Amino acid sequence: MTLSANDAETFERCIAVGGVALFPADTVYGLACDPDMDDAVERLYRLKGRRPDKPAAVMFFALDLALAALPELGDHTRAALEALLPGAVTLVVPNPERRFPLACGPDPETLGVRVPSLAPEMHALHAVRWPVLQSSANLAGGPDPRRIADVPASIRDGVDLVLDGGTLPGTPSTVVDLRGFEEQRRWRILREGAVPAETVADTLQGL
């Protein structure tokens, strides 16, 4: 199923007014809301049955938007983002300005960042200029959904918008901790997922 420009505009409007959307990413189906609206974030977490103190990632649909939103990142960290994104990775970066605090959980100076590499059928979403707080569209601890039908009915019925992108790869993003990269070129895999650890290592080597 191919998403249209109208789908992307509807998605952006949903987020802008405090709604929660169910949408296809480059890995699994996700839930999205405005990362700065308390009520929307609380509702997304409630739909998942997720603890409110657990951090989530902020997703941007273009790399330039992510870099512009975090101007304080150091040169080496920025280079790592440019090398790994867009891609099926979540990058954990320093957040000294405490941006997007509702996504940060108990550590406001750490932020997870996503920029998906979308399949051609979902390219319309690259036009979305609004960042979103994003989490997989499953009940906490449940399987990651590859298809809309795999999303629990309680979540499908509870969101304001459903975008169907067909069947997705089904493996969640690889989570890479870059908080030590600026000063020491140190990084570590917190969760191996869609992108193999050796691919991350090859990409970051020499930066």
**Which stretches of the chain drop beneath a pLDDT of 50?**
none
Do the beta carbons of residue 11 and residue 22 sit within 8 Å?
no
CA distance to 101, 112, 186, per residue, from 108 (Å): 6, 11, 21
Closest CA relative to residue 121, chosen from 85, 88, 165? 165
pLDDT value of position 1? 85
All domains in the chain, ordered by first residue: 5-202 (3.90.870.10)
Q: In what order do the strands lie in the sheet with 21-24?
A: 161-162, 21-24, 29-33, 132-136, 57-59, 110-114, 89-94, 174-177, 188-191
CA distance to 4, 29, 81, 84, 148, per residue, from 63 (Å): 21, 20, 8, 10, 27
* Dist CA 101 CA 149 (whole Å): 32
pLDDT value of position 167? 97
pLDDT value of position 110? 98
pLDDT digits (tens, 9 = 90+) for 94-127: 999 999 999 999 999 999 999 999 999 999 999 9
